[in-house]
Structure 1
Amino acid sequence: MQETELAMVRTTELVAGRPWRVFRWHRGQAHYSGWHWSATMGRHVVYESRLELARLLLADFDPRVVSIAAQPFHVTGRSDGRTRRHVPDFLLVDRSGVVTVVNVKPAELLGDPKVSEALAWAGSVFAGRGWVHEVWSEVDEAVLANVRFLAGYRHRERVSADLVARIEGAVEEPVSLGALEAALPHQFCEVRPAVLHLLWRGTLRADLSVPLSGSTVLERAA
Structure 2
Amino acid sequence: MKDLGDLHYFLGMQVTRTPRGFFLSQQRYAEDVLERAGMTKCKPASTPIDTHSKLSSQDGAPLDDCSSYRSLQACLHMHEPRDARLALVKRILRYIRGTTHLGLHLAASSTTDVMAYSHADWAGCPDTRRSTSGYRVYIGDSVISWSSKRQPTVSRSSAEAEYRAIANAVAECAAGSASCCESLAATFQRPPYWCAVTMCQQCTCMLRLRRSVGACDDTSLYSSS
Higher helix share: 1
TM-score range, shorter chain: under 0.3
TM-score by structure 2 length?
0.24
